[in-house]
C-alpha cells in the first residue's frame, strides 16, 4: 500500500497540493483495513511525500521529497591516475610535509573563522597571507615589497592569464626563453598573446636580442628553466635597461630559488629594479605541494589599480580555503623550518643521484648543480652521436622512467640536447633503482661501436 501510493505520487507531480481522501474513506474504497491506510499515510508523511495541516486533512506535499532524498545512492569514485615515476622533475617530496601541523592549522582557522573570511573577499587574496609572503621574500629572496603589492593567484598559468588580461594589449608579443617552460607557449596563445621564442645561452636570455616591439618578456634569471643557469648581473642590468627603453614588462618567474645548496644566489631581479618594471612570480607548488594551487605575483605599485579593475570582473581564482592556514604556517616559522629541512634532503638526493649515475660518466656530462630540484645533464659525444635525447626519453618511458628530453622544451630549430633528472620527489633508494635501470639502458649504447 505504502509503495504503491508513493509510486502514484511520484508519477503524478500535478497532484502536488491535492487533498487526499480521509483514511476511513480510502480504506472502504480499496477494501483494506483503516490501519493499513493510516500507517501508509504516516510513513509517507515521514518521508515527505504527504503533509498534514492544522485543522486536519492530509495533502500531497508541494515540495516533493525526491528533491531532498534521505540518502542518495553512493557512486564509486573513478580510479586515480598512475603515480609519478622517477625522474619526474619539479616534484616536492610531499611525504615529508608536516601534514599534522598543516591539518591543525586548517582546522583552527576554519573552526571559528575570522568574520572577514566569510565576508567580501579581497581580490588580491587573504591579507595575512600576503603579509607573510612579503616577509618571506624579504628574508629569502632579498626582495622588499609591501603586502599590498602581493597578489595571490591560482598558480602560474592563472598569473599569466591575469597579466595578459589586465596589463597587455590584445595580440601583444611576449619574449620567452627557449628552451623554457614547455607549456608556456600554449598558455600564452590561449590568452591571445604571441610568444616570441629566444634561444638562451650559458648565461640565460641575451637582452641584446630582445625585439623592441615586445610588450613583455618572461625570464627565469635566478635559475633558468630547465637548464639551471643563472643570469649574471651584467645581463640583469641590460634586461632592466631594455624594459625601461621599450616600456615593457619583465615577468620574473622564480619557481624554486629557495632550494639553494651552496654559495650565495643573486637576489631576485625584481629587487634590483625596485619593482618598477618587473612583476615577480612565485608559487608554493614546488616549495610545499602542487595540491595547494596557490601562487602569487608581486607587482609594481603603478599596476595595482589596473589589476584590481580586471579582478573586479573576473574575481580571484585562488581558493580561500588554504590561504589562512598557509599564512599561519608561514608566520609560525614552520614554513622556513620545512624549507631548510627540504633543502638538506634535496642536496643529499642530488649527491646520491650523481653517485648512482657514475657508471654513465662516459655517456653523460655529470656535474653537480648548486640549486634546484632537477639536474639538466648534457649528452657526451660518445652517446650524443648515436641517439637523440627524445629517443632516450622514449626508451626510458617504456622502462617506467620519466626522463624528459631538453629538446622537448624548445620550439626553435636545432634544439640543444640533454636530459632532465628530477630528484627532489624521490627517495635515495628510488633514485638508485631508477639510475640502475637507466645504466642498463644507456651503457650498451655508449660502449657499442660508433
Interaction residues for a copy of itself, span 112-151 (CB under 8 A) = 112-113, 116-122, 124, 127-128, 130-132, 134-136, 138-140, 142, 146-148
Cell representation of residue 72: 542518495
Distance (Å, rounded) from C-alpha 336 to C-alpha 372?
Answer: 17
> In angstroms, what is the minimal distance from the CB of 316 to a copy of itself?
7
Binding to a copy of itself by CB under 8 A, coded x per residue (else -) over 294-313, reads: x------------------x
| For a copy of itself, the closer CB: 22 or 304 | 304
Distance of alpha carbon 273 from the chain centroid: 27
Q: Assess 77 for contact with a copy of itself (CB under 8 A).
A: yes
User: How far is 185 from 199, CA to CA, in rounded Å?
Assistant: 14
Per CB under 8 A, the list member of 183, 276, 358, 361 interacting with a copy of itself is 183
Selected from 16, 32, 46, 309, the binder of a copy of itself by CB under 8 A is: 16
If one asks whether residue 351 binds a copy of itself (CB under 8 A), the answer comes out as no
User: Strand, helix or coil at 161?
Assistant: helix
- Is there binding between residue 222 and a copy of itself (CB under 8 A)? no
Q: Are 94 and 102 in contact (CB under 8 A)?
A: no
C-alpha–C-alpha distance, residues 276 and 296, integer Å: 17
Residue placing its CB nearer to a copy of itself in the complex, 74 or 413: 74
Q: Contact with a copy of itself (CB under 8 A): which of 55, 56, 315, 448? A: 315
Instruction: Report, in Å, the least distance between residue 73 CB and a copy of itself.
Output: 6
- Exposed, middle or buried, 11 (CB in 10 Å: 0-12/13-18/19+)? exposed
**Region 248-267 residues binding a copy of itself, contact defined as CB under 8 A:** 260-265
Closest CA to 258 of 87, 427, 424, 431: 424
Q: Which 163-182 positions form the footprint of a copy of itself (CB under 8 A)?
A: 165
Using CB under 8 A as the binding rule, the residues of this chain from 384 to 403 that contact a copy of itself are none
Q: Are 300 and 289 in contact (CB under 8 A)?
A: no
**How big is the site for a copy of itself, counted in residues (CB under 8 A)?**
102
| Mode of pairing for the β-strands spanning 278-283 and 364-365 | unpaired
Candidate residues 57, 169, 190, 274; the one interacting with a copy of itself per rule CB under 8 A: 190
Packing angle of the helix pair 127-141, 334-356 (nearest 10 deg): 50
Least distance in angstroms from the C-beta of 81 to a copy of itself: 5
Any contact of residue 64 with a copy of itself (CB under 8 A)?
yes
Which of 308/386 has CB closer to a copy of itself? 308
Measured from the CB atom, the residue of 97 and 427 that comes closer to a copy of itself is: 97
**Cell 573586479 found at:** 312
- 170 and 309 Cβ atoms separated by less than 8 Å: no
- Please enumerate in sequence order all residues whose Cβ is within 8 A of that of 322, keeping only pairs 6 or more positions apart, or say none: 106, 292, 294
Tell me if 2 sits within 8 A of 47, measured CB to CB. Answer: no
Q: Which is nearer to a copy of itself, 311 or 357 (CB)?
A: 311
Residue from 22, 47, 110, 246 binding a copy of itself (CB under 8 A): 110
As measured in angstroms, the least distance from the Cβ of 160 to a copy of itself is 10
Tell me which H or E stretch contains 252: strand 249-253
Amino acid at each position: 500500500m505504502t509503495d504503491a501510493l508513493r509510486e502514484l505520487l511520484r508519477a503524478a507531480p500535478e497532484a502536488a497540493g491535492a487533498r487526499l481522501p480521509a483514511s476511513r474513506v480510502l480504506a472502504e474504497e480499496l477494501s483494506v483495513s483503516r490501519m493499513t491506510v493510516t500507517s501508509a499515510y504516516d510513513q509517507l508523511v515521514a518521508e515527505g511525500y504527504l503533509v498534514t495541516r492544522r485543522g486536519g486533512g492530509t495533502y500531497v506535499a508541494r515540495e516533493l521529497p525526491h528533491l531532498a532524498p534521505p540518502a542518495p545512492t553512493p557512486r564509486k569514485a573513478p580510479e586515480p591516475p598512475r603515480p609519478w615515476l622517477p625522474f619526474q622533475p619539479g616534484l616536492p617530496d610531499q611525504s615529508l610535509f608536516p601534514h599534522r601541523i598543516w591539518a591543525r592549522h586548517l582546522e583552527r582557522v576554519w573552526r571559528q573563522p575570522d568574520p572577514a573570511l566569510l565576508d567580501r573577499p579581497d581580490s588580491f587574496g587573504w591579507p595575512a597571507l600576503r603579509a607573510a609572503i612579503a616577509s618571506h621574500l624579504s628574508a629569502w629572496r632579498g626582495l622588499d615589497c609591501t603586502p599590498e603589492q602581493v597578489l595571490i593567484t591560482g598558480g602560474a598559468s592563472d598569473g599569466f592569464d591575469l597579466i595578459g588580461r589586465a596589463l597587455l594589449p590584445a595580440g601583444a608579443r611576449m619574449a620567452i626563453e627557449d628552451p623554457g617552460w614547455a607549456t608556456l607557449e600554449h598558455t600564452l596563445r590561449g590568452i591571445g598573446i604571441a610568444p616570441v621564442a629566444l634561444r638562451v645561452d650559458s648565461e640565460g636570455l641575451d637582452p641584446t636580442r630582445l625585439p623592441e616591439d615586445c610588450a613583455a618578456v618572461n625570464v627565469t634569471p635566478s635559475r633558468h628553466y630547465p637548464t639551471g643557469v643563472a643570469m649574471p648581473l651584467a645581463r640583469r642590468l641590460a634586461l632592466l635597461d631594455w624594459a625601461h627603453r621599450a616600456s615593457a614588462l619583465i615577468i620574473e618567474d622564480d619557481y624554486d630559488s629557495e632550494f639553494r645548496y651552496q654559495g650565495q644566489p643573486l637576489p631576485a631581479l625584481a629587487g634590483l629594479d625596485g619593482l618598477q618594471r618587473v612583476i615577480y612570480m612565485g608559487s608554493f607548488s614546488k616549495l610545499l605541494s602542487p595540491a595547494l594551487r596557490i601562487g602569487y605575483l608581486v607587482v609594481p605599485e603603478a599596476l595595482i589599480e589596473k589589476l584590481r579593475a580586471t579582478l573586479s570582473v573576473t574575481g580571484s581564482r585562488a581558493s580561500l580555503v588554504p590561504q589562512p592556514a598557509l599564512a599561519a604556517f608561514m608566520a609560525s616559522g614552520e614554513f622556513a623550518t620545512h624549507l631548510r629541512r627540504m633543502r638538506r634532503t634535496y642536496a643529499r638526493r642530488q649527491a646520491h643521484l650523481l653517485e648512482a649515475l657514475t657508471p654513465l660518466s662516459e655517456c653523460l656530462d655529470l656535474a653537480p648543480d648548486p640549486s634546484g630540484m632537477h639536474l639538466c645533464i648534457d649528452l657526451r659525444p660518445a652517446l650524443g652521436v648515436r641517439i637523440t635525447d627524445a629517443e632516450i626519453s622514449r626508451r626510458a618511458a617504456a622502462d617506467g622512467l620519466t626522463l624528459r628530453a631538453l629538446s622537448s622544451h624548445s620550439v626553435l630549430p636545432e634544439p640543444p640536447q640533454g636530459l632532465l633528472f628530477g630528484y627532489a620527489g624521490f627517495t635515495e633508494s628510488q633514485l638508485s633503482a631508477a639510475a640502475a635501470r637507466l645504466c642498463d639502458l644507456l651503457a650498451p649504447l655508449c660502449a657499442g661501436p660508433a
